């Protein structure tokens, strides 16, 4: 008889496997203590492929070994943090696991075989090699086998015991590579930023900031980056009003609400004109009636990431809690292994047996019976999401339960989700009938849709999803009717919401940050380190500390908080696990790259200090200056009336004056984009309050300001400076949208070039600016806007903002604007216009070639956003294409389509 040492990953798993393998034996199973009182030894007899075996089953508790630097490098001040990229490391058994190590050594000495029952993912394979190292050192003659299983049920365990395989060295090497990379990067950056920042600032999140550790993790920081970047998007969002035409029609059969197929317009004048056309000619004509069958497909089989996302979405459970509960259910044998990337079942899986086990459930048992009845035609072989980790199947139920007495509400929820998800993925899709109706009103197109659910199928069991139905009246092509309502409604653009936990997991999964087994740990670390907070709706916000750290690295111009670097590392480690790359090769490449980033970050550490100074006060313990430059005070803040406003410069070269009370006070004044240098002078403005308001000495980039403006200017930001006002209106300002997370770090020489189309200007034949931004044309349009007079005659005149030609004064002939005068450009293909009574106050119309969609908000009515425009306006055909004349029917710019003399010919 062969003595076999069996080692599982946890004591509970060891007990479950031993219980299954020893079942129905005459003498049963004997239990004794090992060196560690928590890791017991189970003895029983078993037959493996005809060979009688005496089995000794014990366990470890997760990783048996730790990776760390040698002792002389472990103290924080023992070496330069840069040395940690090549300092020697060792893998050893820590003191609290020495008893487990001794048990393994003692039992291995009297055994001939070693069978590893560790979890069948990369991490489990690495633990298996740790066990092999310890046992192999005690007994060099061991024959080593690997048992592969995905559920703690009889069928899986017996099959694994009879089909033993060899351990996978490549899987273990990939984990070793990740551990070493994370250790070296994390330790170097953590020591660097903690020693740099901890004693210099009073960090309000720390109870004892003397012992505070500002940790950095290669996965942790990109995860924080997702949260901060979304927060910056919300903070930089500027609400913009838009207008849309809504139409409804009520009949005996019900009501249909039609949506404008343009979506919405950002220009009020354009929307009003199109709305007037519809009101003048309101009869609707049905252009198309499209009826089709629609199918709503069930979800793919359940992977770890989907389990976490859906538990967060349906039950508001954190990913950490979800994995803890799923692990409990797995160890008790109710679900399969919960850490898997696979979302498709293999052809060998007996899906019918899994469904059959659920037939007795009081809630979904009847649905399981329907699935197995061929007459219902409800069964469907499940699809696949295309992911397979080659280790475990998708998560599925492995044992029936109507609810155990020891289960918490969360255990009931997770088990129900796993079962219902499995039943749904082997079911037919829901079927509905959808009708889409398109109508035309005065050239404008609208659409409405209605849906009727014919067969619910999987929706009968998957209560977490719905597919609403709505009825609309019956229409036929060519039918004409008068709308019940026809309204011009306004709305306001809204920022995106904060990232929910499901959103954050999706971002991490898409970018390859972490693994299915570690993503929830990275999120938990952000909360534990107080880099981010999570509200009751499971949405994340960065703390001041989290935002300051990301802002500091962002200002350096390095993407240490972005997912790109870690994604490449994860890809390389996957190549190691597949045997395509060697561990040493990946280690060398990744560590060289990250050491270069570390050295650059240390050179630019002043950026971290500046970012922290925005959020935190200076500590009394800090006496040095560390290259810190005191901010130049410009004036007291008139908004919070508590702090001073200081001159600052963002990483993209834009200057601003911001309140030191940030983030509680977000008062800020963005200065003209062409500012090259700015310093606060000792001169004080005599008229602006609250004072004192110190004047700023500006130096502008010559090529980026219109003719007539001096390169050097002593100006006031208090509101009295006409020169600054004009430059901001003409050239625009810097903004946080540009500065945070939306573009690579530009140099001063290419700041303007990033905002204009490259090519030769049609006006001055020069490179470096677009025709619509030509300085020679700005000069003419600026004088026309601010003076509104022709120099020679004194008559009112307007120059075209696009081509510079003198506009022609015409008279409108519309019902609402009859007799009102407007200027329009006489040039062919140029559709600039402005109402005469608006020209004196600078309210201009624009060229008709501007896009009208919501996806182009830069052409808006806000000043300083769209270069070369003074307001927004656009006229396009019903198909969305630009038209060459004011009237889209005959092209005459003296009237609009609703008063066109040729309009009667349409019908």
Q: Between vectors from CA 836 to CA 825 and to CA 873, what angle results, nearest 5°?
A: 60
Which residues partner with 563 through β-bridges? none
- Residue 790 DSSP class: -
**Lookup: tokens for 341:** 């990337």
DSSP character string of 652-675: TS-EEEEETTTTT---EEEPBTTE
Q: Could you say which of 216, 275, 330, 337 is catalytic? A: 337
- Residue 519 DSSP class: H
Q: Between vectors from CA 484 to CA 267 and to CA 268, what angle results, nearest 5°?
A: 5
Q: CA 504, CA 309: separation in Å to the nearest integer? A: 9
Q: CA 746, CA 744: separation in Å to the nearest integer? A: 6
Any idea which residue has 């008559």 for tokens?
795
* Strand, coil or helix: 704: helix
DSSP character string of 134-174: HHHHH-TT-EEEE---SSSSHHHHHHHHHS-B---HHHHHH
Which distant-in-sequence residues (6+ apart) come within 8 Å of 702 by Cβ? 711
Please answer whether residues 788 and 839 qualify as being in contact, where contact means their C-beta atoms are separated by less than 8 angstroms.
Answer: yes
Q: CA 673, CA 831: separation in Å to the nearest integer? A: 29
Residue 252 class from Cβ within 10 Å (0-12 exposed, 13-18 middle, 19+ buried)? exposed
Any idea which residue has 């979904």 for tokens?
364
Please answer whether residues 873 and 859 qualify as being in contact, where contact means their C-beta atoms are separated by less than 8 angstroms.
Answer: no
Q: CA 840, CA 785: separation in Å to the nearest integer? A: 7
Q: Secondary structure of 17-85 in the HEC alphabet?
A: HHHHHHCCCCCCCEEECCCCCCCCEEEEEEEECCEEEEEEEEECCCCCCEEEECHHHCCCCCCCHHHHH
Backbone angles phi and psi of 543, in degrees to 5: -80, 170
**Lookup: tokens for 238:** 């500027």
Any idea which residue has 């990275």 for tokens?
522
**Lookup: tokens for 754:** 């990033």
Q: CA 469, CA 433: separation in Å to the nearest integer? A: 9
Please answer whether residues 308 and 509 qualify as being in contact, where contact means their C-beta atoms are separated by less than 8 angstroms.
Answer: no
**Lookup: tokens for 779:** 């000069």
Q: How far apart are the first and last CA of the chain?
A: 99
337 labelled catalytic: yes
Please answer whether residues 580 and 651 qualify as being in contact, where contact means their C-beta atoms are separated by less than 8 angstroms.
Answer: no
Q: Which residues are catalytic?
A: 337
């Amino acid at each position: 008889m062969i003595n076999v040492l069996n080692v599982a990953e946890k004591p509970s798993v060891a007990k479950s496997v031993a219980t299954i393998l020893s079942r129905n034996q005459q003498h049963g199973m004997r239990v004794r203590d090992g060196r560690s009182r928590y890791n017991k030894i189970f003895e029983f007899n078993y037959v493996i492929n005809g060979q009688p075996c005496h089995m000794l089953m014990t366990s470890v508790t997760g990783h048996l070994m730790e990776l760390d630097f040698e002792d002389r490098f472990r103290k924080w001040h023992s070496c330069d943090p840069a040395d940690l990229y090549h300092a020697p490391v060792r893998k050893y058994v820590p003191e609290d696991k020495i008893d487990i190590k001794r048990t393994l050594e003692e039992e291995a000495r009297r055994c001939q075989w070693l069978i590893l029952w560790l979890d069948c993912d990369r991490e489990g394979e690495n633990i298996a090699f740790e066990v092999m190292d310890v046992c192999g050192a005690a007994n060099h003659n061991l024959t080593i086998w690997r048992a592969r299983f995905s559920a703690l049920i009889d069928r899986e365990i017996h099959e694994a015991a009879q089909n033993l395989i060899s351990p996978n060295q490549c899987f273990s090497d990939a984990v070793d590579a990740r551990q070493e990379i994370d250790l070296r990067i994390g330790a170097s950056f953590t020591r660097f930023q903690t020693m740099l920042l901890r004693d210099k600032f009073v960090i309000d999140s720390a109870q004892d900031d003397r012992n505070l550790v500002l940790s950095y993790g290669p996965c942790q920081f990109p995860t924080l980056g997702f949260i901060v970047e979304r927060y910056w998007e919300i903070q930089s969002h500027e609400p913009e009003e838009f207008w849309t035409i809504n139409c409804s029609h009520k009949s005996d059969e019900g009501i249909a609400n039609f949506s404008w197929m343009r979506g919405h317009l950002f220009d009020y004048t354009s929307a009003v004109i199109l709305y007037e056309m519809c009101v003048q000619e309101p009869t609707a004509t049905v252009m198309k009636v499209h009826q089709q069958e629609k199918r709503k497909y069930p979800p793919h089989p359940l992977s770890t990431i989907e389990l976490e996302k859906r538990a967060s979405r349906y039950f508001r459970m954190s990913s950490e809690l979800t994995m803890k509960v799923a692990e409990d259910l797995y160890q008790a044998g109710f679900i399969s292994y919960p850490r898997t990337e696979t979302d498709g079942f293999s052809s060998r899986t007996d899906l019918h047996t899994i469904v059959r086990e659920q037939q007795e459930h009081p809630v979904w048992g009847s649905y399981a019976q329907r699935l197995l009845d061929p007459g219902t035609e409800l069964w469907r072989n499940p699809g696949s999401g295309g992911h397979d980790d080659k280790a475990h199947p998708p998560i599925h139920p492995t044992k029936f339960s109507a609810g155990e007495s020891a289960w918490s509400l969360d255990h009931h929820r997770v088990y129900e989700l796993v079962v219902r998800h499995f039943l749904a993925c082997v079911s037919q899709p829901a079927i509905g009938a959808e009708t889409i109706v398109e109508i035309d009103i005065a050239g404008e197109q609208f659409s409405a849709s209605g849906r009727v659910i014919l067969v619910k199928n999987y929706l009968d069991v998957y209560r977490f999803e719905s597919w609403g139905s709505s009825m609309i009246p019956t229409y036929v092509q060519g039918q004409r009717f008068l709308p019940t309502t026809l309204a011009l409604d306004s709305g306001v653009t809204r920022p995106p919401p904060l990232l929910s936990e499901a959103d954050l997991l999706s971002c991490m999964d898409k970018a390859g940050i972490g693994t299915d087994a570690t993503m929830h740990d990275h999120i938990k670390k952000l909360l534990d380190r107080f880099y981010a907070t999570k509200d009751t709706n499971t949405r994340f916000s960065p703390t001041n500390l989290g935002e300051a750290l990301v802002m500091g690295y962002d200002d350096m111009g390095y993407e240490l908080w972005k997912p790109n670097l870690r994604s490449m590392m994860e890809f390389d480690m996957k190549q190691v696990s597949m045997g395509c790359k060697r561990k040493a090769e990946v280690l060398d490449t990744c560590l060289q790259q990250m050491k270069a980033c570390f050295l650059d970050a240390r050179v630019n550490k002043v950026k971290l200090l500046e970012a922290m100074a925005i959020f935190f006060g200076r500590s009394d313990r800090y006496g040095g200056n560390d290259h810190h430059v005191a901010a130049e005070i410009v004036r007291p803040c008139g908004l919070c009336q508590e702090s001073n406003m200081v001159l600052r410069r963002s990483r993209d070269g834009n200057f601003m004056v911001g309140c030191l009370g940030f983030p509680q006070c977000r008062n800020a004044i963005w200065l003209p984009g062409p500012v090259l240098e700015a310093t606060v002078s000792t001169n004080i403005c005599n008229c602006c309050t609250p004072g004192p308001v110190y004047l700023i000495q500006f130096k502008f980039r010559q090529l980026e300001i219109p003719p007539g403006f001096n390169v050097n200017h002593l100006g006031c930001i208090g509101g009295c400076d006409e020169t600054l006002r004009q430059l901001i209106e003409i050239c625009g300002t810097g903004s946080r949208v540009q500065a945070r997370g939306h573009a690579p770090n530009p140099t001063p020489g290419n700041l303007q070039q990033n905002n204009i189309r490259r090519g030769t200007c049609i006006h001055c034949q020069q490179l470096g600016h677009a025709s619509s931004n030509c300085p020679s044309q700005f000069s003419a349009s600026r004088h026309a806007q601010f003076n509104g007079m022709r120099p020679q005659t004194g008559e009112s005149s307007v120059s075209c903002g696009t081509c510079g030609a003198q506009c022609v004064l015409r008279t409108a002939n519309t019902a609402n604007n009859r007799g009102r005068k407007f200027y329009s450009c006489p040039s062919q293909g140029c559709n600039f216009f402005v109402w005469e009574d608006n020209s004196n106050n600078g309210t201009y119309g624009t060229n008709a070639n501007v896009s009208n969609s919501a996806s182009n908000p830069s052409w808006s009515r806000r000043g300083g956003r769209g270069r070369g425009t003074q307001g927004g306006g656009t006229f396009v055909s019903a198909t969305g294409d630009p038209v060459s004349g004011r009237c889209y029917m005959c092209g005459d710019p003296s009237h609009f389509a609703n008063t066109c003399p040729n309009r009667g010919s349409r019908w």
